[in-house]
């Protein structure tokens, strides 16, 4: 569309007329509104106690300190939470990738009885509010003595249909000729998937992987319900229960813990931005 | 939306080959279907069943018919949680959709640094609700919070006790939510904008259409199919609001931010009344499904 706006009097390229100035002003305002909370969190986390409540707010401490980042690990079992989050996210992501790639293949590439109904049932769960699942899942896990295990936190979220949908859509775009050639060479279905589809699906697989990982890393309601020991508790649950519960006076530590939880995610995002964009624009789902 | 790619399967000749073909297809899907049935389909069905029972954390469920629903309808707390959530949906869903669209329009313009602005708006997407809740409690703090300070600079006095007063707590949760999740809608609309054929604008411009008319008569109608799923997904997400409230207010002050999801959490996992919580879950499901159907009807999608 930008092309079409270019010749419009308000949006002519090259010259900074009033319309463009307004757009730039809005752009800067937007960047500030969305960026400032991150900076504010970080700045607060390196402020000594004496400066935290200074009013008007200061955007850089007179005496920056990293003391809270070192105290963080004495105050909360952050390392355990991080380890748990990592293990859970890896299990969910691996399980999701393997099952979704396998399921996407026949849904996109084979004719079989029940295909439409299977697709319809799977996709209709996009509209299902997950709250209805919490009680049965919880009772099931408790019944099988699986509460407070990595299994109980990590496996149910792998049933999410987003990746199946994305893989199916992507497999549909792979040229038929490649598959035909493979079949002439006597490739089995599994061989076709392994040697032709998977190598060509790097971007889609990466999107599913990264998306699932972040969704799992930030998942909140289910881990909150099913884990109540630090042996399995993940970062968001630990933060919400012990750190964020009505902010106490230990402000530096609180902000340092929020920052410690956020900074890895931000770096991760900046490295892999385009995959997030693709994942969202394909399915409209968020974590 | 998905149709089998043409050709890849010749017409199946014998019935044995057809059965074999079906078996192969289901074998591929089996690992996912096991997960899907065990952790999605079955729990959904059990959830509906549980709503008709009295079910504690231990022991067998007892069938009680519609008693849970009857209790809910007559429960002031539950009705209030419905009203609070509806209020949140109105406060948050409309800006999430409109602002998502406007932000997409903005970062779609050929502007320098638009990619940086896009990335910044997108950043909150990877931050957990726990961290978001912590950051915004601090920003919304009454006496030394950032928001009140800058509102004061703009002449808003006296400072608002955002999370401490029943009137302002839900708007504060909505502001937090918009900051946190508007990026999803922005990205979806942006993808839609990039798919609109350039020729449409060119021919309209030849007819003398201005920027506003182009937006009104080309951009918005062309994005209608996208809105058809952005709107229900946004509204469903808003009805399910939980984490922000759990971290920032725990439903307070005076129950002003007590939402349906919060009700389900407390009923099921604090008071272990599984049947009643399931009934509330079913009602939540019916509300979101009802809304989705009405909205898709109105947009003539179904």
Question: Is residue B3 domain-resident?
Answer: no
Residues B56 and B87 in one domain: no
Domain assignments of chain A as residue spans, ordered by start? 2-65, 71-283
Task: State the nearest Cα–Cα gap between A163 and chain B, in angstroms.
Answer: 10
**Residue A157 DSSP class:** G
- Is B233:B93 a contact under the CB 8 Å cutoff? no
Alpha carbon distance B116, B104 (integer Å)? 13
Q: How far is CA A265 from the centre of its chain?
A: 9
B233, A126: Cβ pair inside 8 Å?
yes
A122 touches chain B (CB under 8 A): yes
Alpha carbon distance A2, A5 (integer Å)? 5
Q: How far is CA A227 from the centre of its chain?
A: 20
Residues B116 and B127 in one domain: yes
Question: Is residue B206 domain-resident?
Answer: yes
Q: What is the mean pLDDT of residues A139-150?
A: 93
Alpha carbon distance A239, A254 (integer Å)? 9
* Number of other CB atoms surrounding residue B109 within 10 Å: 18
CATH number at residue B121: 1.10.3720.10
The tokens 């539950």 sit on which residue? B78
Alpha carbon distance B292, A122 (integer Å)? 17
| CATH code for residues A71-283 | 1.10.3720.10
Residues B130 and B226 in one domain: yes
Alpha carbon distance B159, B147 (integer Å)? 9
Backbone torsions φ then ψ of B210, nearest 5 degrees: -95, 180
Question: Is residue B5 domain-resident?
Answer: no
A140, B43: Cβ pair inside 8 Å?
yes
Alpha carbon distance B287, B252 (integer Å)? 24
Closest CB to B2: pick one of A134, A172, A240: A172
pLDDT score for B194? 86
Residues B194 and B291 in one domain: yes
* pLDDT single digits (tens) A48-103: 888 888 878 889 988 888 888 888 888 888 889 999 999 999 999 999 999 999 99
* pLDDT single digits (tens) A170-228: 899 888 888 888 888 888 888 889 988 999 888 889 888 888 998 899 899 999 999 98
**Residue B125 DSSP class:** G
Question: Is residue B1 domain-resident?
Answer: no
Taking CB atoms and an 8 Å cutoff, what residues of chain A touch B25? 106, 110, 112, 115
Residues B119 and B135 in one domain: yes
Residues B175 and B269 in one domain: yes
List all residues of chain A from 47 to 106 with a beta carbon under 8 Å from chain B: 52-57, 95, 98-100, 102-103, 105-106
Alpha carbon distance A243, A237 (integer Å)? 10
Closest CB to B28: pick one of A102, A255, A281: A102
Residues B137 and B79 in one domain: yes
pLDDT score for B7? 45
Closest CB to B108: pick one of A1, A30, A126: A1
Closest CB to B179: pick one of A24, A34, A129: A34
pLDDT score for B2? 45
A172, B5: Cβ pair inside 8 Å?
yes
A274 touches chain B (CB under 8 A): no
Q: Which of B53, B134, B197 to probe by mutation at the A interface, max A CB count within 10 Å?
A: B134
Residues B59 and B170 in one domain: no
Tokens of B57: 């954390």
A37, B120: Cβ pair inside 8 Å?
no
A27, B117: Cβ pair inside 8 Å?
yes
Question: Is residue B9 domain-resident?
Answer: no
For residue A256, pLDDT beyond 50: yes
Closest CB to A179: pick one of B8, B122, B284: B8
Residues B60 and B91 in one domain: no
For residue A284, pLDDT beyond 60: no
Question: Is residue B8 domain-resident?
Answer: no
Size of interface A-B (CB pairs under 8 A): 353
**Segments of chain B with pLDDT less than 70:** 1-14, 301-302
Task: State the nearest Cα–Cα gap between B64 and chain A, in angstroms.
Answer: 17
- CA end-to-end distance (rounded Å), chain A: 30
Which of B41, B68, B95 marks a domain boundary?
A: B68
Residues B260 and B283 in one domain: yes
Counting the structural domains of chain B, the total is: 2
Q: What is the mean pLDDT of residues A117-135?
A: 90
Show the CA angle centred on residue A137, arms to residues B127 and A144, nearest 5°: 120
- Domain range for B39 is 15-68
Alpha carbon distance B21, B12 (integer Å)? 8
Residues B282 and B147 in one domain: yes
Residues B191 and B116 in one domain: yes
**Residue B89 DSSP class:** H
Q: Is the peptide bond before B253 cis (omega within 30 degrees of 0)?
A: yes
The tokens 């549909």 sit on which residue? A172
- Note the helical H segments in chain B: 15-36, 42-50, 67-73, 76-108, 114-122, 129-139, 146-153, 166-195, 198-206, 211-214, 220-222, 224-239, 243-248, 260-269, 274-298
Alpha carbon distance B146, A154 (integer Å)? 37
């Amino acid at each position: 569309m930008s092309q079409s706006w270019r010749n419009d009097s308000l949006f002519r390229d090259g010259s900074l007329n009033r319309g463009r100035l307004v757009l730039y002003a809005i752009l800067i305002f937007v960047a500030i509104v969305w960026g400032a909370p991150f900076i504010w969190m970080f700045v607060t986390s390196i402020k000594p106690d004496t400066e935290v409540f200074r009013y008007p707010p200061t955007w850089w401490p007179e005496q920056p300190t990293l003391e809270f980042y070192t105290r963080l690990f004495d105050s909360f079992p952050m390392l355990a939470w991080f380890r748990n989050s990592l293990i859970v996210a890896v299990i969910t992501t691996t399980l999701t990738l393997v099952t979704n790639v396998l399921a996407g293949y026949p849904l996109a590439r084979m004719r079989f009885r029940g295909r439409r109904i299977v697709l319809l049932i799977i996709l209709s769960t996009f509209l299902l509010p997950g709250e209805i699942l919490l009680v049965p899942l919880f009772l099931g896990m408790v019944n099988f003595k699986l509460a407070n295990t990595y299994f109980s936190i990590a496996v149910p979220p792998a049933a999410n249909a987003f990746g199946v949908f994305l893989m199916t859509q992507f497999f549909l775009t792979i040229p038929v000729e490649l598959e035909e050639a493979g079949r002439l060479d006597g490739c089995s279905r599994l061989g076709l998937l392994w040697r032709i589809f998977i190598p060509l699906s790097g971007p889609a697989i990466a999107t599913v992987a990264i998306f699932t990982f972040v969704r799992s890393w930030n998942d909140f309601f289910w881990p909150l319900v099913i884990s109540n020991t630090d042996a399995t508790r993940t970062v968001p649950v630990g933060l919400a229960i012990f750190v964020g519960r009505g902010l106490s006076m230990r402000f530096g530590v609180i902000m340092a813990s929020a920052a410690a939880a956020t900074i890895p995610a931000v770096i991760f995002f900046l490295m892999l931005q385009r995959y997030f964009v693709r994942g969202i624009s394909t399915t409209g789902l968020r974590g | 939306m998905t149709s089998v790619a043409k050709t890849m399967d010749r017409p199946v000749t014998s019935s044995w080959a057809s059965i074999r073909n079906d078996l192969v297809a289901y074998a591929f899907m089996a690992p996912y279907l096991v997960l899907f049935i065990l952790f999605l389909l079955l729990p959904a069905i059990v959830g509906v069943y549980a709503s008709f029972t009295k079910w504690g954390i231990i022991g067998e469920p007892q069938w009680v018919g519609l008693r849970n629903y009857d209790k809910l309808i007559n429960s002031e707390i539950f009705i209030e949680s419905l009203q609070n959530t509806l209020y949140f949906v109105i406060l948050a869903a409309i800006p999430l959709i409109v602002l998502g669209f406007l932000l997409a329009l903005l970062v779609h313009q050929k502007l320098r640094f638009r990619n940086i602005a896009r990335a910044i708006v997108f950043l909150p997407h990877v931050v957990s609700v726990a961290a978001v809740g912590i950051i915004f409690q601090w920003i919304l703090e009454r006496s030394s919070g950032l928001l009140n300070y800058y509102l004061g600079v703009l002449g808003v006095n006296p400072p608002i006790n955002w999370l401490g007063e029943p009137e302002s707590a839900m708007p504060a949760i909505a502001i937090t939510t918009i900051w946190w999740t508007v990026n999803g809608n922005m990205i979806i609309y942006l993808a839609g904008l990039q798919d609109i054929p350039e020729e449409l604008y060119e021919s309209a411009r030849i007819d003398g259409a201005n920027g506003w008319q182009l937006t009104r008569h080309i951009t918005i109608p062309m994005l209608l199919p996208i809105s058809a799923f952005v709107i229900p997904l946004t509204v469903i997400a808003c009805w399910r609001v939980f984490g922000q409230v759990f971290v920032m207010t725990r439903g307070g002050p005076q129950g002003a931010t007590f939402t349906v999801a919060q009700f389900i959490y407390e009923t099921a996992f604090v008071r272990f009344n599984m049947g009643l919580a399931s009934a509330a879950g079913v009602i939540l499901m019916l509300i979101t499904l009802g809304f989705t159907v009405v909205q898709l009807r109105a947009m003539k999608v179904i």
